[in-house]
Amino acid sequence: MRFAPRAVPALAATAAAAVLVAGCGSSGAADPTANGAAADPTGGPASISVVTSTNVYASIATTIGGDAVQVSAILSDPAADPHSFEVSAQDQVKIAKAQLVIANGGGYDDFAQQMVDAADPRPQLLDAVQISGLDTGDSDHFNEHVFYDLDAMTKLGNAIAGKLAELDPAGKATFDKNAADFTKVLAALKDRAAGIGAAHPGVKAVVTEPVADYLLASAGISDVTPGDFAEAIEQENDPAPGDIAQVDALLAGGTVSLVVFNSQTAGPVTERLETKAQQTGIPVLKVTETLPAGVTDYADWIGGTLDALSKALG
């Protein structure tokens, strides 16, 4: 799924207006909190202002940066439908004050890149897709949901540590240690995924969208969804009757032993698929694109998803 960057054309004007408003009443003296650096009440160094496109990346940035960062996510509402997401003037102000922006990239959250381009001064940007090193190939068919790719997130954690060290050299040792610890946690999660796959070999799945396909692949689970079916749902269109019939045949024929359901973009077609799976006794794994309510840690989110996967496969 790709977030719709609506309301972006006016961002440059919004950014300029925001800067003017922020400057009203200024005495002209240097502001220690300018460009996102918040003054530390203890008298220590200012913290680094980080803005991320979603709360998934906010969690990772917080894990790596610890007390040295102040992190804000543009999209964090677990009930939000990313297809109808609209950036606001407040979002642009956040970007304008940030020292570092972290986005998914790959066409997933273009609004972040556009807001960075509209900001003056322009904050530094980390693009998770670029950092992942994955072959984007045909961009129309590339799976941009790299936040479910544990190798990609390991690379991102290291990149965040490196960028934070540039902004705060005194914190380098801490950032590097946090990134190393994060790497170990993700390696353990990847081992868990492989263990689930070893316990349930040859699992084939139908997905409403390829949101969690990278994690499924870590567990050796194949996505056998007809491409046109998943593409139509991702583009908020109704799949063709023939594609729906193909999915029904997969469910009825015993080929599929798991249905993966993106609960943030439910609609009549996907709800029908969920019902069909339940009627045929096929377990349903629900996944999300942002951290669910009550979950603030990326590793906990992935671990919870793996727990649900293991339970679903039984």
Give domain limits for the chain. 11-189, 193-313
Query: Left, alpha or beta for 41 (phi > 0: left; psi -120 to 50: alpha)?
Result: alpha
Distance CA 59, CA 264 (A): 19
pLDDT average, residue stretch 181-189: 98
pTM of the model: 0.85
Q: Quick check: do 11-189 and 193-313 share a fold?
A: yes
* pLDDT tens for each residue of 81-139: 555 567 899 999 999 999 999 999 998 898 899 999 999 999 999 999 999 999 988 76
Fold annotation for 193-313: Rossmann fold (3.40.50)
Nearest to 151, CA basis, from 130, 133, 177: 133
Q: Which residues contact 96 (CB under 8 A, 6 or more apart)?
A: 15, 18, 19, 119, 120
Distance CA 192, CA 199 (A): 11
Distance CA 12, CA 15 (A): 5
Beta bridge pairs of residue 286: 261
Q: 133: which 2 tokens?
A: 């090193």
At the fourth CATH level, the homologous superfamily of domain 11-189 is Nitrogenase molybdenum iron protein domain (3.40.50.1980)
* pLDDT tens for each residue of 69-80: 999 999 988 776
Residue 150 clears pLDDT 60, i.e. is over it: yes
Average pLDDT value for the chain: 85
Distance CA 284, CA 258 (A): 6
Residue-level pLDDT at 153: 98
* pLDDT tens for each residue of 248-307: 999 998 889 999 999 887 788 889 999 999 999 999 999 999 999 899 999 999 999 999
